[in-house]
Amino acid sequence: MAALSKIAAGNGHGENSPYFDGWKAYETNPFHPTDRPEGVIQMGLAENQLCFDFIKKWLMKHPEASLCTAEGVNKFKETALFQDYHGMPEFRQAIAKFMGKVRGDRVKFDPDRIVMSGGATGAHEMVTFCLADPGEAFLVPTPYYPGFDRDLRWRTGVELVPVICESSNNFKITRNALEAAYEKAQEDNIRVKGLLITNPSNPLGTILDRETLKSIVSFINEKNIHLIGDEIYAATVFMEPEFVSISEIIEEVECNRDLIHIVYSLSKDMGFPGFRVGIVYSYNDALVSCTRKMSSFGLVSSQTQHLIASMLSDDDFVDNFIIKSKKKLFKRHEYFTWSLSQVGIGSLKSNAGLFIWMDLRKLLKAKTFEAEMDLWQVIIHEVKLNVSPGSSFHCHEPGWFRVCFANMDDDTMETALLRIRDFMRKNNAAMIPHNKLCRRSSLKLSFSRRVDDFMSPGIMSPHSPLPQSPLVRARS
Amino acid sequence: MAFATKNRQLLSRIATNDRPGENSPYFEGWKAYDSNPFHPTQNPDGVIQMGLAENQLCFDLIKKWILKNPQASICTAEGVDKFKDISIFQDYHGQKEFREAVAKFMGRVGGNMVTFDPNRIVMSGGATGANETVMFCLADPGDAFLVPSPYYPAFLRDLRWRTGLEIVPVDCNSSNNFRITRAALEEAYERAQRLNINVKGVIIANPSNPLGTTLDRETMRSLVSFINEKNIHLVCDEIYAASVFSSPRFISVAEIIQDMDCNRDLIHIVYSLSKDMGFPGFRVGIVYSFNDLVVHCARKMSSFGLVSSQTQYLLASMLSDEEFVENFLKESSQRLAKRHRVFTHGLEQVGISCLKGNAGLFSWMDMRPLLKEQTVEGEMELWRVIVNEVKLNVSPGSSFQCSEPGWFRVCFANMDDEIVEIALDRIGKFVRQGKEEDVAPKKPKRWQKKLHYLFCCCR
């Protein structure tokens, strides 16, 4: 057979990593409350499923948002024909407004800088193609989203150089760490073209404080390299401190704006990963122009642009949605972290995202990544939860796991927590030194509080098991 | 200026080369249209857009279907219960019903001579994304694909820009109706070899853009046999498959390989709903490969350009309605046939002939008799007159890399009947003027004077 390309023959797609074992375990044995109550519960998928009832209500009140209703069908033809890579003006305006609202209207976004892409996946690849040549690199603070290995590197030939962040200071991105990574790249003869940060962070669930952001902007400015801020979780900040966007920082700090770029999407904040709404927002005119041309490879379906334009230009809806979403995330997060703490599991203090960064270091047989993998295999196959091991996020220290909590209903969450409780009960017996065993009665673990204590009445999400589908590839 | 240069240096080589190709004269016509677009009442002297291959003839049928099928939308009362499941569905395999519906549709469009396997259907960001994805899977930077000319201008961007591939044209000319001959293929292949260019495959569009013709069985077999012997890939862009409106019928490469001994791992199809259904905005690109590895690789790559799940859902419903599809394809074909007939007949009346076409949304118009000189410059001169004076945006053959000057692609399916008449009227007037001036005492032709003026004022 004629050979395929090197790109096709290689492993750049990243799917051979152990990270996907958890997916496979889930796929072959997915949990269902009645059909398969012993199945694997999916906690490796960062989806926001908490606000669909609110969206459904809006849809019923706005038939004109669809091209397929009597009210909207007269727009069908012109919309179906619309393939202009500038995107629909109403769509860009609505997105720009939404992005502003999510940042508390502290910044205004220019609709003419909004460029579409095939989800954030497409946005990242596109920005990388435009900012770096094959062999060049971006710095990326660890731990980071595993999909970056594919999105930024696979077809572009660009490298990623990790900026090591550690639990000793809550994984803060320090100036020292940035400089160290930059110098290491220099030593290895790798040309660094930029720094990619995810704020709020996946997998940490934290936001960058103002000081860190300023330090980052000053760093990239000095080195004359790009700063790409992936702000895909911006609206999931459910608790103080308030989210600070790069777009705000550059109003306060002197810097070359041609180096500043934001990647955004509606996949997490709205819960619409299927709609593939990726956005590139750059302060660099040449980049806007170039990415706009490139967006032809992954435009947003005009049908979806039409719907989103309508939805996100409804100020009332947007304001309420953002508040509701935060409230639900807050409650879910509170209950989940509290329940874990009851059984002796801590997590990084977080205020954003659809997951927590769980600390299972004390459960490791050894402080190694092999031990982490062993523990992870146990969690998947015995506890039957698909969580994501820290090593798949290039975490520098073994023992951390990302656990998603916003992609399931309350009952499923209870089931997951019970399994964790049972597991910890067994493990505590193993962990506790001999002379404490007689005190086993004090280990009675129960949840004295229920999720209802944390949830306001009336918010019982309908059961919604994930559909049984072929291997799901999510931006998780 | 120094800052702008510094700015450009901040970006990558890909960002700063001109492979997107938007500096070509081809886009002048677009600009002329954009700055002065025709409107029957508001701007009756504006430029008529005949450079856009869109299929606007059957939206009435689609509208009817939509109103009868509210469940196809996730935003209606009948469909909203599916909203959540659909909006979170991002599996790169695509919705099963969507793949099944597309496979069935492709089969039907191919005259039910082949059954397409839904598990080989891979999504992409329109045919634009599909063609690029296939290139990424099959070839490395510096490798090349042979492409019969004239070909779709955006291949220069789609196949080459981010992939780093090269295009080697296979010269086809009017002496044999632009047929793709074995000799031309061999010549192009050898030319590449001499230049040390590694040819990885051939890419064809069938039906052809811009010719508006389908490849006959013999040519298809010859192509398959050529690539098989050379052990290189064959990519068939069949995006206009359902736009065939008269015989001979469309023959997909999928049908050809059923009766031929060939290595199926070399055969790949690119498809889309942009032309056949008239849905370019929905970005429904499809890669269909007979090579398992390519299917797997393209599927992973499709993450960069999946079809919106909202759109998958709608189209799954629409295209699995067999009655609708049957009727739509029949009507579309008939309406295209009629439009083609009216248009080419109208041109003939004023002495302009076209390549005999049986497919596509355009005609390949022969304006060689009107050229001042049989050169690309002569063609561009004539083209500027057509755009700026006759006020029709047509596409010059040189933008399709046609090796002979004087051919123009004219689209006819993106407008209603009245506008077709107006366009024919304008062409008629232009041709008659030219003839009158031919017999009048010699003085500079009006359009030559105006051309001089134009050259001074534009760019």
Q: Do A2 and B200 touch (CB under 8 A)?
A: yes
Q: Cβ A467–B85 below 8 Å, yes or no?
A: yes
* pLDDT attached to residue A461: 29
Chain B hits for A136, CB-CB cut-off 8 Å, are 12
Q: Which of A13, A70, A82 sits opposite B300 (nearest CB)?
A: A13
CA of A214 vs chain B CAs: smallest distance (Å): 21
B125/A122 CB distance under 8 A: yes
CA angle B418, B419, B425 (to 5 degrees): 95
Cβ separation B11–A286 shorter than 8 A? yes
Subunit contact B90:A296, Cβ cutoff 8 A: no
For residue A13, list chain B residues with Cβ-Cβ distance below 8 A. Answer: 297, 300-301
Cβ contact A129–B301 (<8 Å): no
Domain ranges (residues) in chain A: 18-52+319-427, 63-313
Residues 6+ apart with CB under 8 A from B380: B25, B396, B398
Q: Where in chain B is the domain with CATH 3.40.640.10?
A: 79-321
Residue A407 parent element (H or E): none
Whole-number pLDDT of residue B18: 80
Check residue A467 and give its pLDDT: 33
Domain A63-313 fold? Aspartate Aminotransferase; domain 2 (3.40.640)
pLDDT band (50, 70, 90) for residue A89 = very high
A25 vs A44, A319, A412, B99, B182, CA distance in Å? 11, 39, 18, 25, 52
User: Residue A15 — pLDDT band, cuts 50, 70, 90?
Assistant: confident
B301 and A155 in contact by Cβ < 8 A? yes
Question: CA-nearest residue of chain B to A303?
Answer: B282
Which chain A residues are closer than 8 Å to B85 by Cβ? 464, 467
Residue of A nearest to B72 (CA): A68
Name the residue among A130, A467, A471 with its Cβ closest to that of B14.
A130
Tell me the C-alpha to C-alpha distance, in Å, between residue B421 and each of B48, B194, B386, B412.
11, 50, 16, 11
* pLDDT at residue B439 in the model: 56
CB neighbours of A148 closer than 8 A, spacing ≥ 6?
A: A124, A140, A160, A196
| pLDDT of amino acid B19 | 80
Q: Which residues of B touch A67 (CB under 8 A)?
A: 66, 73
Question: Which of A28-32, A219-223, B186-190 comes out lowest in average pLDDT?
Answer: A28-32
Q: Which of A52, A304, A474 sits opposite B311 (nearest CB)?
A: A304
Q: Give the CATH H-level superfamily of domain A18-52+319-427.
A: Aspartate Aminotransferase, domain 1 (3.90.1150.10)
Closest to A69 (Cβ–Cβ): which among B73, B132, B138?
Answer: B73
In this predicted structure, what is the pLDDT of residue B21?
A: 75
Q: How far apart are CA A357 and CA A383, in angstroms?
A: 18
- Spell out which residues of chain B touch residue A473, defining contact as CB-CB under 8 Å: 90-92, 300, 303
Best probe of the B interface among A60, A62, A81, A138, by most B CBs < 10 A, is A81
Q: Inter-chain contact B129–A68, Cβ cutoff 8 Å? A: no
Q: Extract the residue ranges of chain B whose pLDDT is less than 70.
A: 1-9, 25-26, 437-459
- Say which of A60, A296, A473 has its CB closest to residue B128: A296
CB contact under 8 A, A77 and B59: yes
What are the backbone angles phi and psi of residue A162, rounded to the nearest 5°?
A: -75, 145
CB within 8 Å: A67 and B66: yes
Top residue of A125, A297, A304, A311 to mutate, by most chain B CBs within 10 Å, is: A297
Mean pLDDT throughout A312-319? Answer: 97
pLDDT digits (tens, 9 = 90+) for A133-163: 999 999 999 999 999 999 999 999 999 999 9
Q: Do B297 and A296 touch (CB under 8 A)?
A: no
Which two structure tokens, joined as six digits, stand for B134?
């296939």
How many Å apart are CA A12 and CA A351, to the nearest integer? 33
A273 closest CB neighbour out of B15, B88, B294: B88
Cα gap A199→A242, rounded to integer Å: 12
* Per-residue pLDDT at A457: 34
Q: Tokens 């192509």, residue?
A: B223
What is the architecture of the domain spanning B1-59+326-433? Answer: Alpha-Beta Complex (3.90)
pLDDT at residue B452 in the model:
43
A409-421 pLDDT, tens digit per residue, is 999 999 999 999 9
Predicted confidence band of residue A444 (pLDDT cuts 50, 70, 90): very low
Q: How many whole angstroms separate alpha carbon B102 and alpha carbon B92?
A: 15
Give chain B positions within 8 Å (CB) of A314.
none
For residue B77, the chain A residues in CB contact (below 8 A) are: 60
The encoded tokens of residue A162 equal: 């990790």
Within 8 A of B84 by CB-CB distance, chain A residues are 49, 52, 56, 464
Say if the Cβ atoms of A68 and B76 lie within 8 Å: yes
- A286 contact residues in B (CB cutoff 8 A): 7-8, 10-11, 15
Architecture of domain B79-321: 3-Layer(aba) Sandwich (3.40)
Chain B's closest residue to A74, CA to CA, is: B63
Closest residue on chain B to A6 (Cα) = B140
Average pLDDT, chain A: 90
Interface test with A, best of B63, B76, B303, B307 (most A CBs within 10 A): B303
Instruction: Determine, for residues B125 and A307 on separate chains, whether the beta-carbon distance falls below 8 Å.
Output: no
- Catalytic residues of A, by residue number, are 145, 230, 232, 268
Task: List, by residue range, all CATH 3.90.1150.10 domains of chain B.
Answer: 1-59+326-433
Q: What is the pLDDT of residue B446?
A: 52
A4 pLDDT higher than 80: yes
The set of catalytic residues of B is 152, 237, 239, 275
Contact B87 A15 (CB under 8 A): no
pLDDT confidence bin for A286, thresholds 50/70/90: very high
Q: State ipTM.
A: 0.92
Residue B7 burial (CB < 10 Å; 0-12/13-18/19+)? middle
Question: What pLDDT sits at residue B382?
Answer: 96
If you measure CA to CA, which chain A residue comes closest to B284?
A: A301
pLDDT, tens only, A342-379: 999 999 999 999 999 999 999 999 999 999 999 999 99
Chain B residues in contact with A284 (beta carbon < 8 A): 7, 10-11
**CB contact at 8 A, A130 and B12:** yes
Count how many pairs of residues, chain A against chain B, have C-beta atoms within 8 Å: 269
- Pull the structure tokens for residue B265: 């791992």
Select the residue of B263, B266, B308 nearest A304 (Cβ to Cβ): B308
Dist. CA A263–CA A450, nearest whole Å: 38
- Closest residue in chain A to residue B83, using alpha carbons only: A56
**Bridge partners, residue A402, by sequence:** A357, A388
CB B73 within 8 A of CB B314: yes
